[in-house]
Structure 1
Amino acid sequence: MRIGALADAAGTTTRTLRFYEQEGLLDSTRTPNGYRDYADGALLRVRNIRELLTIGFTINDVRAFLRFLDRDLPPTFGDSGGCATAMRVADERLTLLRERLHTLTRLHDSLAARLDRPAFGSPGACPPAPQQTLPLSEGGA
């Protein structure tokens, strides 16, 4: 399958596929005229890479899942005969996502609380915008 056909089938771009190749996640051969040619299983691999990226993994994280990319990913990663490295990466990513969620929740709650209070002590009041004066140009205007 050529790169354009694979990109269309996977719902991505040829640039993305070349990036996956550069990162060692995807392989292709070359036709005599230099076109990239992908094996039949490349579509499943690309879909799995995209799914892992969508659920929060990084390109570096995806490398830990290389042995799983050519088959349907299990709905869960636990007890699927996976290697310890892939499970460790998944646990680390989950911990990081939990930390981000906690931080974002705190920020959300702080902003929401500020929006619920009257601004500057009076309901609906905002201080006037400062008057901006433009500097005179040196040549005089």
Structure 2
Amino acid sequence: MLIGELSARTGVSPRLLRYYERQGLLDSDRGPNGYRTYDDDAVGTVRQIRALLAAGLGTEVIRTVLPCANGDASRLDLCPRLVETLRRELTAMDDRIDNLRQVRGTLAAYLPEG
């Protein structure tokens, strides 16, 4: 399928699909006319990318775990590497939340009560 059809089937703009490709998240071939072509599996891959991005993962992390992310984007089959990565990312997120709470408390202490 061409990039326009992949865009229509996934709701992701062609510009963003090209970005995913530059980041090593999505593969395409080039037809004789130079146009990008994608296989039918690209629809699932894009949905998985979107789900992992929505979960707070960056493209570098997604690139490492995407090969073991199987299944529907709303319910990924988790391989051990993906489980380990998600746990590590969750711990890092908890640390950032704790830090933000501390900073918020410090900032709020400057304001008068009321």
**What is the TM-score with the length of structure 2 in the denominator?**
0.80
Of 99, 102, 105, which residue of structure 2 is paired with 1:103? 99
Q: Summarize the alignment of residues 76-87 of structure 1 with structure 2, pairs less than 5 Å apart.
A: 82-83=79-80, 85-87=81-83
Partner SS for 2:21: helix
Query: Which has more helix, going by share of residues?
Result: 2
Q: Work out the CA distance in 2 between the residues paired with 1:95 and 1:111.
A: 24
Q: Summarize the alignment of residues 1-141 of structure 1 with structure 2, pairs less than 5 Å apart.
A: 1-73=1-73, 75=75, 82-83=79-80, 85-115=81-111, 117=112
How large is the Cα RMSD of the aligned pairs? 2.5
Instruction: Quote the offset at 1:73 in angstroms.
Output: 4.2
Distance 1:38 1:63, change over 3 A: same
Any gaps of 5 or more consecutive residues in structure 2?
A: none
Instruction: Quote the offset at 1:23 in angstroms.
Output: 2.3
Distance 1:93 1:81, change over 3 A: closer
| Counterpart contact for 1:28–1:37, Cα < 8 Å | yes
Q: Work out the CA distance in 2 between the residues paired with 1:6 and 1:107.
A: 43
Distance 1:56 1:105, change over 3 A: same
Q: Work out the CA distance in 1 between the residues paired with 2:6 and 2:63.
A: 21
Q: Work out the CA distance in 1 between the residues paired with 2:34 and 2:4.
A: 14
**What is the TM-score with the length of structure 1 in the denominator?**
0.67
Q: Work out the CA distance in 1 between the residues paired with 2:12 and 2:5.
A: 10
Count of aligned pairs = 114
Any gaps of 5 or more consecutive residues in structure 1?
A: 124-141
User: How far does the alpha carbon of each residue in 1:61-93 deviate from its partner, in whole angstroms, 9 at most, with x for none?
Assistant: 112322344521464x7xx5613x322221211
Query: Which has more strand, going by share of residues?
Result: 2
